Amino acid sequence: MCEKPYWEGKGYSFFCNKNCEYFPCHETKDPENFNCLFCYCPLYALGSKCGGNFKYTEKGVKDCSNCAIPHQRNNYGYIMDKFQDIVEVAKKNGE
């Protein structure tokens, strides 16, 4: 039997803000499980290594409008696992 991730079912791993004027900010078939916790995706800083469904615009801006990774209830662990990578990007940019 597999053990549940430490964060599963915890209040801090999910927040749904249905009162937000932009809710949902991405198309979804499951608004009850739309996670607003990472409204501004922390994975954006990872560029092409974020793991999401993104594209770059003609002006070189990362367009994440087709990505729902931060908004899926079960992806809290995925994002937390990427924080060390985000820290490394921040260190490089601070040099």
Q: Which two three-digit tokens encode residue 50?
A: 């974020």
Over residues 65-87, the pLDDT tens digits come to 999 999 999 999 999 999 999 99
- Cα–Cα distance between 50 and 82 in angstroms, integer? 8
CA distance 19 to 5: 29
SS3 83: helix
Whether omega for the bond prior to residue 5 falls within 30 degrees of 0, making it cis, is no
* H/E element, 84: helix 83-94
pLDDT tens-digit readout, 8-52: 999 999 999 999 999 999 889 999 999 999 999 999 999 999 999
pTM, full prediction: 0.83
